[in-house]
A and B are shown apart, each in its own frame.
Chain A
């Protein structure tokens, strides 16, 4: 067998004979980061690159994203890939709002990050005008390796996120700044 197999490291904790004690946040973070189910919101060419990423050569599924779901109720991360028109913006916002927490957003490609080459009357200049974004993946379109890199950065973010984040005032202020008022 190969020697360069990377195993997941255990989180810091106290271990002894037959037991391992750590904090719930770390375990939950580890579990969440290694099983992010994507909601592919693919509108343009970046969507094609995502198809290549899900295909066997680059294989997103081995990062835990085995089940892409087109229903927001069962997805963890929203992958916005492609040009979002201003007409599409309320649709995107509604889909984001209907996702169950905890939820993260990756904006893939130049058009989703900032409107891309299309600085025109009909294109939304960046999805962070309507929803909060966690990771931006630049490129036009980004290579599958870049998309994977973006997802890996999100995994790092998810691994270190505290479970109480949803109750924190910063999070609530962030959502309120986008007009998403949840009780």
Chain B
């Protein structure tokens, strides 16, 4: 008689094949890269290894100064995005949290709002 209940909870050892597969994949990739690095024919000379600059001599390094406004916008985005992430669980459970939760969230957002006013007054959001 076949067992009627075929469901069972997944235990830790069920994921062992995935780990073995991962180890094999990593070993295979390392082997391919290692073999091609050591066995592959290569030639070196001073000119050949120099950076390609369309045949002319290379001067200096490729790091050019760039405007800090890109960095500022990106970092402010990260900060306010983290704030928004904190808002999501409150949005789901706001009824259970009640007035108490509202007050705590208002305090949290108020602190961040002060920071936001500081950023605006300092002109970090000026693009030009």
Residues of chain A having any CB pair with chain B under 8 Å: 71-73, 90-95, 97-98, 101, 166, 180-183
Q: Write the chain B residue with the least CB distance to A41.
A: B55
Inside 8 A of B55's CB, which chain A residues have their CB?
90-95, 98
Q: How far is the CA of A137 from the CA of B41 in the complex (A)?
A: 31
Inside 8 A of B95's CB, which chain A residues have their CB?
none
Q: How far is the CA of A149 from the CA of B44 in the complex (A)?
A: 33
> Which stretch (B45-53, B68-76, B100-108) binds chain A?
B45-53
Q: How far is the CA of A72 from the CA of B52 in the complex (A)?
A: 8
Whole-angstrom distance between the Cβ of A14 and the nearest chain B Cβ: 27
Q: Are B44 and A183 in contact (CB under 8 A)?
A: yes
Whole-angstrom distance between the Cβ of A88 and the nearest chain B Cβ: 8
Q: Are B56 and A97 in contact (CB under 8 A)?
A: no
Chain B interface category by residue count: 10 to 19
Q: How far is the CA of A166 from the CA of B40 in the complex (A)?
A: 13
Q: Are A182 and B43 in contact (CB under 8 A)?
A: yes
Q: How far is the CA of A56 from the CA of B35 in the complex (A)?
A: 41
Whole-angstrom distance between the Cβ of B52 and the nearest chain A Cβ: 6
Q: How far is the CA of A72 from the CA of B48 in the complex (A)?
A: 10
Inside 8 A of B43's CB, which chain A residues have their CB?
101, 166, 182-183
Q: How far is the CA of A90 from the CA of B53 in the complex (A)?
A: 13
B54 at the interface (CB under 8 A from A): yes
Inside 8 A of B50's CB, which chain A residues have their CB?
98
Proximity bits, B106-118, A CB within 8 Å = 1, else 0: 0000000000000
6 pairs of A and B residues whose beta carbons are closest in the complex: A91-B55, A94-B55, A182-B43, A182-B45, A95-B55, A97-B47
Inside 8 A of A98's CB, which chain B residues have their CB?
47-48, 50, 52, 55
Whole-angstrom distance between the Cβ of B59 and the nearest chain A Cβ: 14
Q: Are A183 and B52 in contact (CB under 8 A)?
A: no
Whole-angstrom distance between the Cβ of B41 and the nearest chain A Cβ: 7
Q: Are A95 and B45 in contact (CB under 8 A)?
A: no
Whole-angstrom distance between the Cβ of B45 and the nearest chain A Cβ: 4
Of listed B41, B45, B48, residue having the most chain A CB within 10 A: B48
